[in-house]
Chain A
Amino acid sequence: MRPELNRRSFVAIAAATPLLAACGGAARQKAGTNTRAGLRAALPSYVPSGSVTPDIPSLAGGAGAATDPAFLAYPASRVATVQGTPGRGGSYTAVTPLWGTVPPAGNSFYEAMDKALGVTLTMKPADGNNYNTVVPTMTAARRLPDWIQLPTWWNSIFNVGGLAGTQLADLTPYLAGDKIKRYPNLAAIPTGAWQTGAWGDKLYGIPSFSSDFVIAGAVFHRRDVLQAKGITADQVRSADDLMNLGRELTDAKRGVWAFDDVWTYLFPAWDVPLTWDVRDGRLIHKYEMPQFFEALDWHHRMARAGYLHPDAAAGQNANADTRFYSGKVLISGGGSGAWNLADHQSGTAADKDYRRGAFDFFAADGTSAPRVAMGPSTNVISYLNNRLKPDQIEELLAVADYLAAPFGSAEYTMVNFGVEGVHFTMKDGVPTATEDGKKFVQAMTFPFLASPPAVISNPGAGIVTRDYAAWQAANVKALYKPVFWNTNISMPQSLSAASAAQAVEDAIKDCYHGRTKVSEVQAAVSTWKTGGGDRLTQWMTDNVLSKYGTGQ
């Protein structure tokens, strides 16, 4: 019963809507994918900063990848990189996601920052856990703040392609090419990161935490525990090695299991791309690759063999860190951001010998060269509101330049630690937060608007810096640029469900938790293909691959 009549009556209502639309006045075009030539014209020049010298310099790999420079001690001479105050007294609001406790409004750190920046910047951090549902209400009401941070993994939920130019300001006239040299600290952010904030051949976003070593994560292990058993990470060279290690480490009777969830970080070992790859000139989704199911089979067998912690199999992720710190789990996947000072502090609080390590990337078969797809140069991009006047945009870009001052500079110290004597004191060369500092500064607020390229630095825990820098150096050669790297794609709404592939992802999770067989995932994939997956591949082929190439 196809409701033709109803359809017609809806058309009548639809015809009346332009009258009603006058108050909304929304444009519906979407800024599309960038072209090669258009990007070249819009992207800013790159002028690296030489004001601070790292203890362990960056090491270049292939395909534009490079390790992050590392600092073993906090630079003693905090050089100033910005002359005077950047602002001219304007008032602005900024919204950033925050995974932590929101500091009280109008606190002494915010006041000190306002004074240093020369503007009144009202920070409104929002809960990171439901940020993806907060932002759409702001964009639907066209009430974005002056400055907002939109993490790239939510690009399609936020429809950033549609916001670019309608609600988000075009920064091309201010930053393209050599114009960025007015803002030397912004100019020191590598080009790849700016590309992740470009839409339809124009520049919109300001990148934070850019890096040339961005990966989904790694398979971590308790280095202290493994070493005590005489096992070193380099003994694991294949998937079979890892399975054998799982058997060796699991001791369920003592409440110790070898593995927590590792799937997201381990499947690339079977030469599976993050999403897309071009094989024999044809665009192919990872779900359609036989090696994808081989990877799945390994994880399924691992769980069935009983090497996966039961709470992990029950989807209890909230206390995964606790399991790792208490040694109930010895191998766990995670984002590379897990390897830091806070982790070291939490870990050593639970077990004084705690030391995090990561397995080097390996190919599942143990013989091929390991390959791991680089992620986009940054996942954290902030945008300015389209309603701002040109001089306001210039003022905020000057503020962004201050926020992006290099690691160890006077400005960086202010943004990250606050005022010396009030929010932090230097103890043995390490900036240490005071009570006020812990309350007001600790939270990630300003750096989410703009920050310098990533460095490895864990003041007071040199071992973490050395371990992580050494691991990056050993693995940088495995990184490659995947297809559509740093490419922003505005997909039609009708393909978003196929792109998210919730049903397949559910089936995958059930499979690597050992509950359902690989064949059931295969069945889910064929349903997905007919229910939109094939259309998605076709759309990507027609609208992205054939028009703009692989972007590699």
Chain B
Amino acid sequence: MSTPRSWQERPGRRIRLRRDRSLLIMVVPAVVLLLVFNYAPLFGLLTAFQYYDPLAGVWNSDWAGFDQFHRLFADPLFWGALKNTLYLSLVQLVLFFPIPIALALLLNSVLSGRMRNFIQSVVYLPHFFSWVLVITIFQQLLGGAGALNQFLRSHDLQTWDITTNPSTFVLLVTSQVVWKEAGWGIVVFLAALSAVNPGLYEAAAVDGAGRFRRMWHITLPGLRGVIVLMLVLRLGNALSVGFEQFLIQRDAVGHESAEVLDTYAFYYGIATADYSLGAAAGLFKSVISLLLIWGANKLAHCFGEDGLYRR
């Protein structure tokens, strides 16, 4: 079986353009969206180096050099927010990240297709709830006047402070994330699972491999590329643990436990009209995120994985 010539020799640019025309046209809206909403706003980063005054505009505001960064780094509240962000991110990585994988494996082992679809719909429904709703549900169930504590109270038992306890806040928010997002997270892994060749399972079964061995030697290796990709993306987002979830619950546990970089930029940048400080905090976050994603991708390549792209 001989391969056609065109697959061996790269055709000219014009021919490729003509060949991929419809694909390229389909990509245009996404590129425009990216340019308008992701690249054009980069211009606003200038304000991080200014004493930005919205009335004077970017061109007429006084330049500050690195003053805003000096202010930022001298602010203990900023370091508190950074510490919280990293801590929350780490805990979520350990406690949240494996759950969708485990769920996907479990679901994959359910034989009845209808049952599988039903379970999948149920677990990913919460993804479509807003954070306000999720937190209200948690408050109604676990809050100081919620169902659990009213039950304890009516039986003269010690009440259990869950929603306003700063020291266990990290577990509370992680469980909220698990409840809301774990179901949605399995979609990618299920897609990867469906790509595993069923013939491999049959062959392994014939060779006498049990359930666990098949999972260990076929399913997990099949998922590895996707898991590494998700892990790299996750690390790149390590400094974005969410905004609304913390904004809403900030008053419940106090800023010392609930302040993350995004809420810091909101309260000390936007809400007090100190836009330049907010921009500086945002820029700092982006730079660190870029370094993290670059580092994680590099690490993935070292282990022979694809990471974000094939080397």
Q: Which residues of A contact B (CB under 8 A)?
A: 3, 6-7, 10-11, 13-14, 17, 20-21, 24, 26, 28, 133, 136, 139-140, 156-157, 159, 162-163, 166, 252-253, 255, 257, 309-311, 313-316, 318-319, 328, 493-494, 496-497, 500, 502-503, 506, 509-510, 513, 515-516
How far apart sit A55 and B90, CA to CA, in the bound complex (Å)? 66
Partner of B63 from A10, A28, A157, A496 at Cβ < 8 Å: A10
Q: Is B112 an interface residue (CB 8 A)?
A: no
CA distance A414 to B195 in the complex (A): 68
Q: Which of B53, B267, B273 contacts A28 (CB 8 A)?
A: B53
Q: How far does the Cβ of B118 sit from chain A's closest Cβ, in whole Å?
A: 33
Interface presence of B120 (CB below 8 A): no
Cross-chain contact A163 with B55 (CB below 8 angstroms)? yes
Q: A56 to B151: give the CA distance in the assembly, Å.
A: 50
Task: Tell me if B51 and A493 are in contact (CB < 8 A).
Answer: yes
Whether the pair B153, A252 counts as a contact (CB closer than 8 A) is: yes
Chain B positions within 8 Å of A515 at CB level: 164, 166, 253-254
Can you give 30 A-B contacts (C-beta < 8 A)?
Answer: A14-B62, A14-B63, A21-B57, A24-B57, A26-B57, A28-B56, A28-B60, A136-B54, A136-B273, A166-B55, A253-B153, A253-B154, A255-B150, A309-B144, A310-B145, A310-B146, A310-B164, A311-B139, A314-B143, A314-B251, A315-B249, A315-B251, A316-B139, A494-B51, A496-B272, A500-B271, A502-B267, A502-B271, A503-B255, A515-B253
Nearest chain B residue, comparing its CB with the CB of A261:
B251
CB within 8 Å: A-B pair count? 123
Which chain A residues border B254 with CB–CB below 8 Å? 506, 509-510, 515-516
Query: Which of A6, A20, A314, A315 has the most chain B CB atoms closer than 10 A to its own CB?
Result: A314
Q: Give Cα A181–Cα B126 distance, bound, in whole angstroms.
A: 61
- Are B65 and A3 in contact (CB-based, < 8 A)? yes
Distance A313 CA – B49 CA, assembled complex (angstroms): 39
CB-based contact B273/A311 at 8 Å: no
- Contact with B60, one of A21, A166, A311 (Cβ below 8 angstroms): A21
Report A506 CB to chain B, min CB distance, Å: 4
Residues on B lying within 8 angstroms of A by beta carbon are: 49, 51, 53-57, 59-60, 62-63, 65-66, 77, 132, 136, 139, 143-146, 149-150, 153-154, 163-164, 166, 249-256, 267-268, 270-274, 277
Instruction: Report A-chain residues with C-beta under 8 Å of the C-beta of B256.
Output: 510
- Give min CB distance, B85 to chain A, whole Å: 17
Top 10 nearest A-B pairs by Cβ distance? Answer: A310-B144, A315-B251, A314-B252, A7-B65, A500-B272, A510-B254, A140-B54, A10-B63, A506-B255, A24-B57
- Give the complex CA separation of A311 and B55 in angstroms: 40
Q: Enumerate chain B residues within 8 angstroms of A252, measured Cβ to Cβ.
A: 153
Contacting residues, chain A, for B166 (C-beta < 8 A): 515
The chain A residue sitting closest to B274, CB to CB, is: A497
Closest residue of chain B to A5, judged by CB? Answer: B65
- B interface SS class: helix
On chain B, the residues within 8 Å of A17 by CB distance are 59-60
Contact across chains for A26 and B139 when beta carbons are under 8 A apart: no
Question: CB within 8 A of A497: which of B57, B66, B253, B268?
Answer: B268
Residues of A contacting B150 in the complex (Cβ-Cβ under 8 angstroms)? 255
Find out whether the CB atom of A315 lies under 8 angstroms from the CB atom of B271.
no
Contacts of B62 in A (CB 8 A): 14
- Among B57, B136, B255, the one with the most A-chain Cβ atoms within 10 Å of its Cβ is B57
Minimal Cβ-Cβ distance residue in B for A500: B272
Contacting residues, chain B, for A140 (C-beta < 8 A): 54-55, 57
Minimum distance in angstroms from B59 CB to a CB of chain A:
5
Q: Say yes or no: B251 contacts A513, CB within 8 Å.
A: yes
Interface of A is mostly: helix
Contact of B60 with A139 in the complex, beta carbons under 8 Å: no
Shortest distance between the CB of B285 and any CB in chain A (Å): 19
Asked whether, in the complex, the Cβ of A493 is within 8 Å of the Cβ of B273, the reply is yes
B145 contacts which chain A residues (CB < 8 A)? 255, 257, 309-311, 328
Chain A residues whose C-beta falls within 8 Å of the C-beta of B253 in the assembled complex: 515
State A516–B255 Cα separation when bound (angstroms). 11
* Nearest chain B CB to A366 CB, angstrom units: 31
B244 to chain A, nearest CB (A): 13
Task: From A10, A166, A313, give the contact of B164 (CB < 8 A).
Answer: A313
Shortest distance between the CB of A256 and any CB in chain B (Å): 10
Asked if B164 and A314 sit within 8 Å, CB to CB, the answer is yes
By a CB distance below 8 angstroms, the chain A residues around B51 are 493-494
CA distance A432 to B77 in the complex (A): 53
Closest residue of chain A to B57 (Cβ to Cβ) is: A24
When distances are taken between beta carbons in the complex, the residues of chain A under 8 Å from B55 are 26, 28, 139-140, 159, 162-163, 166
A513 to B136, CA, bound (A): 19
- How many angstroms between the C-alpha atoms of A11 and B49 in the bound complex? 11
A313: chain B residues within 8 A (beta carbon) = 144, 164, 252
Distance (Å) between the CB of B302 and the closest chain A CB? Answer: 32
B252 to chain A, nearest CB (A): 4
| Closest Cβ neighbor of A138 among chain B residues | B54
Task: Using A156-B273, A493-B51 as known contacts, say yes or no to A314 and B63 having CB atoms under 8 A apart.
Answer: no
Q: In the complex, which of the residues A6, A311, A494 has the most CB atoms of chain B within 10 Å of its own CB atom? A: A311
Q: Are A13 and B63 in contact (CB under 8 A)?
A: yes
Besides A28-B56, A496-B274, 18 new A-B residue pairs in contact (Cβ under 8 A), listed by A number: A28-B55, A136-B54, A136-B273, A156-B273, A159-B54, A162-B55, A257-B145, A309-B144, A311-B139, A313-B164, A314-B164, A328-B145, A493-B51, A493-B53, A493-B274, A502-B267, A506-B255, A515-B166
What A residues does B57 contact at CB under 8 A? Answer: 21, 24, 26, 140
For A309, the chain B residues whose CB sits under 8 A away are: 144-145
CB distance from B158 to the nearest CB of A (A): 13
Q: How far is the CA of A317 from the CA of B150 in the complex (A)?
A: 20
Instruction: Give the nearest-CB partner of A515 in chain B.
Output: B254
CA gap between A309 and B146 in the complex, in Å: 11
* B residues near A502, Cβ cutoff 8 Å: 267-268, 271-272
What residues of chain A lie closer than 8 Å to B63, measured between beta carbons?
10-11, 13-14
Bound CA–CA A13/B77 (angstroms): 32
Q: Give chain B residues whose Cβ lies under 8 Å from the Cβ of A314.
A: 139, 143-144, 163-164, 249, 251-252
CA distance A133 to B139 in the complex (A): 29
In the complex formed, the residue of A with least CB distance to B272 is: A500
Q: How far is the CA of A6 from the CA of B65 in the complex (A)?
A: 7
Residues of B within 8 A of A496 (CB): 272-274
| Distance (whole angstroms) from the CB of A524 to the closest CB of chain B | 10
CA separation between A506 and B267, bound complex, in Å? 10
Residues from chain A with Cβ under 8 Å of B154 in the complex: 253
Report A-chain residues with C-beta under 8 Å of the C-beta of B163.
Answer: 314
Question: Which B-chain residue is minimally distant from A17 (CB atoms)?
Answer: B59
Chain B residues whose CB sits within 8 angstroms of the CB of A497 once the complex forms: 268, 272, 274, 277
